[in-house]
Amino acid sequence: MVSATAVTGTALGAVMVSLLAAPAQAGTPTGAGHARTGRAAVAAAAPDDAGLRAILRTALAQGAPGAMARIDDNGTVHRLVEGVDDRATGRTISTNDRFRVGSVTKSFSTVVLLQLVDEGRLKLDKPVDTYLPGLLPDDRITVRHVLSHRSGLYDYTNDMFARSVSGFEAVRNKVFGYRDLVRLSLQKPRTNAPGAAYSYSNTNFVVAGMLIEKLTGHTVATEYQKRIFTPLALNDTFYVHPSTTIPGRHANGYLTSDTAGAPPVDATKQTVSWAQSAGAIISTPHDLDTFFSALLRGRLMSAAQLTQMTKWTRVNSTTSYGLGLRRRDLSCGISVYGHTGTVQGYYTYAFTTKDGRRSLTALANTSNNTAVLNTMYRTLEPAFCGTSAAGSAARSAVPGAAPLEHHEDIAPSVTRD
């Protein structure tokens, strides 16, 4: 049974929890990547918990078993939850739950590669085939093209998940090699010439995983752990592929059926081998808030590489894409930086401010539900713009509202409703 109780922290009601110490601060990077935002610095208003809570409740009304949001506001933490993490037991969802983060993984993969650039082992503007000879049919495709979704490589998930449930069941327990997935992509024509246009494709970050493993001689799991998880003490973040389980307490994920009225499919157990370095990391709101804050504060790479990461390609009126990183421009004049994640059973939004002082992670444990996807997008406004934005965000988070999002992270060319 779905609970309608909102929780902040670990107690009922709206409670703000002060941490013992704020995260370490580093200088905010400058340079072309940030200058190109074209938006003046605006002070963030206080987060609006009531507005966030209304949005989470709307997600439940639209079919999500549970929804949550965690804000780390420079050491002051807001926790809000609605609903359950397990439909069978009715256990209340928690901001301590682990879950599959989907394409948020792409930001982790990019950090590893940009660290390798810092180490002189990789050049962004070299062809991928320099490092992986013969992998791609066009040696004009560079590492930068791959990380910015401008390679033109077709996204194999368009065909794999044209039907969500049957497509998922066909790969739930399957283990792919990286080259298997690249071959699926190369069976189709490319979407554009290298560098000519932005076209989101999971294939790009399969290639990113191959680059990591080729250049380091280690698995992506080893490199994530050594370079990111351990240094940032992300103790609830894992890469367990090809294991199908999420270790410890976690939110179950539910895939909405393709057939109207049919019960959702519990998609929690899966290899996520169809995604791997494009989408197989498991984490928590705390760890994602920590990761993106550290990234924007310059703790994970040189200022020069963070500038490269934040050279933007415009996607639409409010979204730009850098290298494995999204920028969202909000109504109050603030831009936030992070990534979205869609994997069977989970929608994730994880973003931080330019200075890394305020971070949001929001999750709904459902997928293939466009109404919920659009609703969770609206958590950004009350989290970063405060009360003035929260009312309009909540009012627009209703069935029939104009769509803001689509399933770009998984089967991006497949329209779902």
Indicate the residue type of 75: G
Q: Say which residues have a Cβ less than 8 Å from residue 400's Cβ, sequence separation at least 6.
A: none
| CA gap 61, 63 in Å, rounded | 6
The string of DSSP codes covering 248-306 is SSB---EEPPSSTTPPPEE--S---TTTGGGT--EE-HHHHHHHHHHHHTT-SS-HHHH
Burial code (b: 16+ CB inside 10 Å, e: under 16) for 263-280 equals ebbbbbebbbbbbbbbbb
**Eight-class DSSP state of 102:** G
Alpha helices per DSSP H over 62-174: 105-118, 128-131, 143-147, 157-160, 164-171
Return d(Cα 380, Cα 322) in angstroms, integer.
19
Catalytic one of 3, 94, 103, 199: 103
Residues 6+ apart with CB under 8 A from 217: none
H/E element, 73: strand 66-73
**C-alpha separations of 86 from 137, 189, 196, 266, 280 in Å:** 45, 41, 45, 9, 21
CB atoms within 10 A of CB 257: 14
Q: Any catalytic annotation for residue 18?
A: no
Alpha-carbon gap, residue 64 to 366, rounded angstroms = 5
Type of residue numbered 83: G
Two tokens, residue 269: 């157990």
Type and span of the H or E element at 80: strand 76-83
Q: CA-CA distance, 298 to 28, in Å (whole number)?
A: 7
Report residue 329: phi and psi, to 5°.
-100, 120
Spatial separation of the C-alpha atoms in residues 198 and 10, rounded to whole Å: 42
Active site residues: 103
